[in-house]
């Protein structure tokens, strides 16, 4: 069973702090990794993707990948209340994406 | 990204009936996908729809229950047949624009009574 695991949360952080969201996956053959943000009542929105080991930065977001440990993370710097949402990790496997159950992030003022 | 629309945005249907959901994208794409998301749950892939070939269904989903059409590179439909209350869910289409990068439509919220 190919799996993607996330802590469901909620993860509560104060405004301005760094939010760290984590994801592990079971299939060592996976090569592409994605983070989606989903606001309540809305569809998922792709915010980051990463293919190589290491860090990838885009604005306040940094994705980190460690294929040896089968671990992907998303860091959100200077968290804002508008970042409050569910963050879904998705892992490519045989031409489709396997989604985790998502981590709910709450950023409080 | 792309502009993806779905119709209807929501519907309330009686058990035993069928509903066809439409997905339209503003550019030509090879791969389209249909997902289901139940309240508080993650996304479950129903099937992959490539233009010019039969849809590929995931385990637990069958063509008789969820027939899919893909007549061209910008359009697809998903039909939920012989509905029961267990089919109440949000149905999402997505398109793959670049290698494995998927973008989602706004979803169709279905309630079966």
Residue pLDDT, tens place only, A42-86: 999 999 999 999 999 999 999 999 999 999 999 999 999 999 999
The residue of chain B nearest to residue A6, with distances taken between CA atoms, is: B42
Say whether B101 and A95 touch across the interface (CB within 8 A).
no
Helix/strand/coil for A3: coil
Residue pLDDT, tens place only, B18-60: 999 999 999 999 999 999 999 888 899 999 998 888 899 999 9
Contacts of A33 (CB under 8 A, 6+ apart): A23, A25, A49, A50, A51, A63, A65, A72, A89, A90, A91, A92
φ and ψ at B111, to 5 degrees?
Answer: -120, 125
Which of A48, A96, A102 to mutate to test binding with chain B, by most B CBs within 10 Å of its CB? A96
Structure letter (DSSP) for residue B16: T
Say whether A102 and B42 touch across the interface (CB within 8 A).
yes
Give the confidence band of B99 by pLDDT, cuts at 50, 70, 90: confident
What per-residue confidence (pLDDT) applies to A42?
Answer: 95
Say whether B104 and A43 touch across the interface (CB within 8 A).
yes
What per-residue confidence (pLDDT) applies to A2?
Answer: 63
Burial B71-103 (b: 16+ CB within 10 A, else e): eebbebbbebbebeeebbbbbbbbbbbeebbbb
A33/A51 Cα distance (integer angstroms): 6
Q: Is B69 on the interface with A (CB under 8 A)?
A: no
Q: Is B33 on the interface with A (CB under 8 A)?
A: yes
- Please state, for a pLDDT cut of 70, what percent of chain B lies above it: 100
Structure letter (DSSP) for residue A36: E
Give the pairing type, strands A11-14 and B10-13: unpaired
């Amino acid at each position: 069973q190919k799996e993607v695991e996330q802590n469901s949360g909620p993860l509560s952080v104060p405004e301005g702090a760094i939010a760290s969201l984590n994801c592990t996956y079971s299939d060592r053959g996976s090569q592409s990794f994605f983070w989606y943000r989903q606001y309540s009542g809305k569809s998922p929105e792709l915010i980051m993707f990463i293919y190589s080991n290491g860090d990838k930065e885009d604005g306040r977001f940094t994705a980190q990948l460690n294929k040896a440990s089968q671990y992907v993370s998303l860091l959100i710097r200077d968290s804002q209340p508008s970042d409050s949402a569910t963050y879904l990790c998705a892992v490519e496997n045989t031409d489709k994406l396997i989604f985790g159950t998502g981590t709910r992030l709450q950023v409080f003022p | 990204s792309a502009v993806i629309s779905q119709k209807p945005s929501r519907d309330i249907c009686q058990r035993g009936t069928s509903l066809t959901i439409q997905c339209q994208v503003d550019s030509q794409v090879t791969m389209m996908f249909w997902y289901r998301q139940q309240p508080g749950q993650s996304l479950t892939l129903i099937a992959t729809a490539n233009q010019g070939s039969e849809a590929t269904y995931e385990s637990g989903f069958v063509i008789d229950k969820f027939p899919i059409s893909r007549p061209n590179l910008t359009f697809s439909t998903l039909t939920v047949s012989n509905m029961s209350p267990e089919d109440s869910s949000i149905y999402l289409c997505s398109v793959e624009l670049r290698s494995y990068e998927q973008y989602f439509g706004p979803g169709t919220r279905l309630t079966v009574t």
